[in-house]
Chains A and B, each alone.
Chain A
Amino acid sequence: MAAGQQWVLVEMVQAFYEAPAYHLILEGILILWIVRLLFFSKTYKPHETYKLTEKEKEDLIEEWQPEPLVPPVSKDHPSLNYDVVTGPPSHKIIINGKECTNFASFNFLGLLDSDRVKDKALASLKKYGVGTCGPRGFYGTFDVHLELESRLAKFMRTEEAIIYSYGFATIASAIPAYSKRGDIIFVDEAACFSIQKGLQASRSFIKYFKHNDMEDLERLLKEQELEDQKNPRKARVTRKFIVVEGLYINTADVCPLPELVRLKYKYKVRIFLEESMSFGVLGEHGKGVTEHFGVNIDDIDLISANMENAVASIGGFCCGRSFVIDHQRLSGQGYCFSASLPPMLAAAAIEALSIMEEDPEIFSVLKRRCSQVHQALQGIPGLKLVGVPFSPALHLQLERSSGCRSSDLQLLRSIVDHCLDRHVALTVARYLEKEERFMPPPSIRVVVTVEQTDEDIQKAVSCIREAASIFLR
């Protein structure tokens, strides 16, 4: 080998001697040029020329014109002028001065104007006042909070529960408490907005699977498994989560929980379940979608729900095993850094839980009402009913879209207005069009509560039918 190299060297020297003079001169010039390019070219000293003088900076500052803080809102923006509700938003609701039957508030169990709940809230108000004046850590923990947490844990048959002072902040804080940068979250496309915000705050990799499509989810999980096999060291520290809703607020259908649990153990992914629509609704005792499917609640790593729908108070909670939940007491941003829930609202929630525990019959009544409304809303010409029969919040979509979202919304809005005129309160489901990851089609939301009578339902349905026949022909 060494001998060979030496031979090449000798050959090179020989070639140098043998080369014609013009060749050597040319090469010499080329070398000089490279040297010049490398060491004497100005392009290699960009800082001198790029640095702005104070004068130039000043000109730039003078020149700069920012955009207005907010773009102007057109006067006829659908969300600009809110309907004004006078008095309590209960079964009978006064909207813009008109008394209507409420088919729009998520007051599924009718606990909002329950006297028992009010009395307990008042007793608490007389003892504690309204506000808490501090976060949980700093003298903002009341005995009522601890009672509510243990009652919720008992109700759900989990080890521990933690309460938040705002429903929206619950899952939005819970997700980033566990899932960090580099972790992977598999999430249903139809997930609600607070989940989306939680995902965004976590800065994890987000993989969306088609709504309720377990094959699609399994495909993604398999892909990830292959990926993990390639890089097992990374896989050992990459946490994986599936985030789903029990009953989807945007589509009114239920997640296939048993299948999800199977996938969980097969691919070793944790499940976070958001039950704001299903807590206090599904299952024999209102425990939600786990009870509905008869799934062991311990198989779900974290359940989150708000206490603003069925419970008709304010706030939210997470429950699960202490190993999981306790972590949020230091890492849940909406828990640590926010003032705690006003004790009177916690007291109201406790009383609502008591009512739910004492009278589980209420859930079968709700279920009956739901299927009744579901049945009655079938086959309205021009409108398509979306949702499962036991969902208390159904969506009516247009059968044929005009292709333009705003004119579809306008059409639905006129149906809602028509019903409002006839004393039936409905609402168009509102979304932030630029913010939603997957925009649900425009729809009218019909909310079922136990307080609605047969006549109420009949009247509402005939109003909708009538309006549809007028506006949709």
Chain B
Amino acid sequence: MTESSGSKLLNGEACQRTLRGKNAGKNGFVKNHCVFEHPRKYRRPTERSQNAAPNSSLYKKPFSESFEETPLLVAVLTYMGYGILTIFGYFRDFLRHWNIEKCHIAHEREQQKDFVPLYQDFENFYTRNLYMRIRDNWNRPICSVPGAKVDLVERVTHNYNWTFEHTGKVVKDVINMGSYNYLGFAENTGACASAAIETTHAYGVGVASTRCEIGNLDIHEELEQLVARFLGVESSMAFGMGFATNSMNIPPLTGKGCLILSDELNHASLVLGARLSGSTIRVFKHNNMQSLEKLLRDAIAHGQPRTHRPWKKILIVVEGIYSMEGSIVRLPEVIALKKRYKAYLYLDEAHSIGALGPNGRGVVDYFGLDPKDVDIMMGTFTKSFGAAGGYIGGRKELIDYLRCHSHSALYATSMSPPVAQQIISSMKIIMGEDGSTLGKDRLRQLSENTTYFRRKLREMGFIIYGNDDSPVVPLMLYMPAKIGAFGREMLKRNIGTVVVGFPATPIIESRARFCVSAAHTREMLDTALRAISEVGDLLQLKYSRRERPLSTPGWTYEESLLQD
């Protein structure tokens, strides 16, 4: 691996995350005893050409991921922006305190004024003074299918976002770049919807019992068999909520005396699950294999803290696609490390299942790996399948154990039957079991759209994070004022986008995020791109200092498709 890897977090440096790994399978005992060579020191790398082929035998196709450096001036201005906002925040708090400015915050009951305050004042400072200014960019209510185009409920505020009123009007046909509708299965017509309608007729919507007691319906069993087949694993189990799949199933797997190695950008549900398990948690730098290997070596060599007993087991927890970064996990390397150090691997495919790979089977499929090399395959049905819930797949022993020990199986109500049906129908379409090529077409469309959209944005000069094949596309905004401005300007142009800032991202790395869908037509993407470019000029967002790749007319997106 080059010295550049992971240095983004150390010195905010851009890095072409390429790799010079050793073939671990053939020769695990290489120089320095490490699978991946340790960097001698973190050096400022020079930016590499964008299509530098990774020099590794582990990857079958180019793995190109980039995180362009934050321009210094932008960073300084961003900090200044936050500084000004903070000063104004204090000033307005002062005005509110003396009742000069009208205060809209809900108050504690009179009878409970002498209780210990429920919130520390500073906890809400950010909410009150920063978030409230741009609150209209979130929680926008919609009143249609969250498909490629969506209808928004129009709302207005007369008190600077403290409260909203619905005007009763509907903003029609907003191009939806925010929903995780990767394969476009958020539909109210078609095969999936009609199957779900039938199931509702037959079963109703609730279950009113747990899997373990009397809520194990035949439809759940059918779903689990299908999921296992889809993933290529021995067995699987489905749960009613994606978040809870993580937070309720990591605790039965690890406990005291176990070590969890977690990527620093892992989702809140993984963090919660790890915390609830009572294991020791250590965090490695995002997608940085040297950092992971160092932790693994040290952990095994030194054992548990203080007692120095050997760890009972070590669990590596990673995600397929990181939803805020748009990066794809370096799975071949993680698997090499996991094998070399006898650790177990928990792979959360919340965003990647259905969205990656020639067969839509997630990041394992994308890299052409064997699903048996991943011990715990976790994913959600919310995104690509247009349903709700999550699953865990793996060897039969694992699933048998979870069936008896998962918190969810014993204490939580089972999945709603129409939701299960939606998953079954959409998964069958992806697998081509419905006898059509609809699934294949959608996968191809998503991949084409992703490549096209990412390429165009890059050409326009925006800083785009993440992997070239990831349908999650973060566009860097940096400055706090631009978060609100971008969201509003885009909505004015009838395009719904997601903007995120602190605390979901590092304080200076506020961004907009687009989720490309197979349901987007080329016209929609072009409309969106035009609007983004316009807003980009308006807000001066085209920060990239890279040489812009020439948009050669002869180059077509088909060439960049996954060669499968």
Nearest-neighbour CB distance to chain A for B278, whole angstroms, equals 9
Structural contact, B111 and A265, CB atoms closer than 8 A: yes
A73-B397, A132-B388, A314-B206 known; A169 vs B241 contact (CB < 8 Å): yes
Structural contact, B213 and A104, CB atoms closer than 8 A: yes
Q: Binary interface profile of A, 38-67, with partner B (CB < 8 Å = 1, else 0)? A: 000000000000001010111011001111
Can you report 9 A-B residue pairs in the complex whose CB atoms are below 8 A from each other? A64-B310, A84-B218, A89-B217, A131-B385, A131-B388, A201-B276, A313-B206, A323-B106, A341-B388
For residue A90, which residues in chain B have a CB less than 8 angstroms away from its CB? 204
For residue B413, which residues in chain A have a CB less than 8 angstroms away from its CB? 167-168, 306, 308, 314
Chain A residues numbered 98-133 whose CB sits less than 8 Å from any CB in chain B: 102, 104-107, 111-114, 117-118, 121-122, 125-133
Number of B interface residues at 8 Å Cβ cutoff, please give it.
Answer: 124
For A178, give its contact among B118, B210, B247, B422 (CB under 8 Å). B118
What is the CA–CA distance of A265 and B551 in the complex, to the nearest angstrom?
70
For A193, give its contact among B111, B217, B411, B417 (CB under 8 Å). B411
The answer to the question of A290 belonging to the interface, with a C-beta cut-off of 8 Å to chain B, is no
Taking each of B176, B188, B192, B214, which has the highest tally of chain A beta carbons within 10 Å of its own beta carbon? B214
What is the CA–CA distance of A405 and B179 in the complex, to the nearest angstrom?
49
What is the CA–CA distance of A104 and B188 in the complex, to the nearest angstrom?
34
The answer to the question of A194 belonging to the interface, with a C-beta cut-off of 8 Å to chain B, is yes
Structural contact, A66 and B188, CB atoms closer than 8 A: no
Chain B residues numbered 462-519 whose CB sits less than 8 Å from any CB in chain A: 496, 498
Nearest-neighbour CB distance to chain A for B280, whole angstroms, equals 14
Structural contact, B33 and A139, CB atoms closer than 8 A: no
What residue of chain A has the Cβ atom nearest to residue B412's Cβ? A168
Q: Binary interface profile of A, 238-250, with partner B (CB < 8 Å = 1, else 0)? A: 1110000000000
For A130, give its contact among B131, B193, B201, B216 (CB under 8 Å). B193
Nearest-neighbour CB distance to chain B for A330, whole angstroms, equals 6
Q: Binary interface profile of A, 166-179, with partner B (CB < 8 Å = 1, else 0)? A: 11110000000010
Nearest-neighbour CB distance to chain B for A72, whole angstroms, equals 6
For residue B342, which residues in chain A have a CB less than 8 angstroms away from its CB? 64-66
Chain B residues numbered 126-173 whose CB sits less than 8 Å from any CB in chain A: 127, 131, 138-147, 150, 153
What is the CA–CA distance of A218 and B387 in the complex, to the nearest angstrom?
47
The answer to the question of A473 belonging to the interface, with a C-beta cut-off of 8 Å to chain B, is no
The answer to the question of B383 belonging to the interface, with a C-beta cut-off of 8 Å to chain A, is yes
For A339, give its contact among B251, B380, B415 (CB under 8 Å). B380
A61-B297, A193-B407 known; A342 vs B387 contact (CB < 8 Å): yes
Structural contact, B411 and A194, CB atoms closer than 8 A: yes
Nearest-neighbour CB distance to chain A for B13, whole angstroms, equals 29
For residue B329, which residues in chain A have a CB less than 8 angstroms away from its CB? none
The answer to the question of B89 belonging to the interface, with a C-beta cut-off of 8 Å to chain A, is no
Binds A, one of B265-273, B540-548, B552-560: B265-273
Structural contact, A138 and B33, CB atoms closer than 8 A: no
The answer to the question of B533 belonging to the interface, with a C-beta cut-off of 8 Å to chain A, is no
The answer to the question of B47 belonging to the interface, with a C-beta cut-off of 8 Å to chain A, is no
What is the CA–CA distance of A237 and B115 in the complex, to the nearest angstrom?
10
Structural contact, A88 and B203, CB atoms closer than 8 A: yes
Nearest-neighbour CB distance to chain A for B452, whole angstroms, equals 21
The answer to the question of A344 belonging to the interface, with a C-beta cut-off of 8 Å to chain B, is yes
The answer to the question of B70 belonging to the interface, with a C-beta cut-off of 8 Å to chain A, is no
Q: Binary interface profile of A, 128-155, with partner B (CB < 8 Å = 1, else 0)? A: 1111111011111111011000000000
What is the CA–CA distance of A445 and B418 in the complex, to the nearest angstrom?
27
Structural contact, A88 and B204, CB atoms closer than 8 A: yes
Structural contact, A312 and B208, CB atoms closer than 8 A: yes
Structural contact, A54 and B33, CB atoms closer than 8 A: yes
Structural contact, B267 and A268, CB atoms closer than 8 A: no
Taking each of B176, B204, B313, which has the highest tally of chain A beta carbons within 10 Å of its own beta carbon? B204
The answer to the question of A370 belonging to the interface, with a C-beta cut-off of 8 Å to chain B, is no
Chain B residues numbered 233-250 whose CB sits less than 8 Å from any CB in chain A: 240-244, 247-248
Structural contact, B33 and A85, CB atoms closer than 8 A: no
Structural contact, B410 and A79, CB atoms closer than 8 A: yes
What residue of chain B has the Cβ atom nearest to residue A352's Cβ? B206
What is the CA–CA distance of A193 and B504 in the complex, to the nearest angstrom?
29
Nearest-neighbour CB distance to chain A for B564, whole angstroms, equals 26
What is the CA–CA distance of A322 and B108 in the complex, to the nearest angstrom?
9
What is the CA–CA distance of A102 and B206 in the complex, to the nearest angstrom?
15
The answer to the question of B419 belonging to the interface, with a C-beta cut-off of 8 Å to chain A, is yes
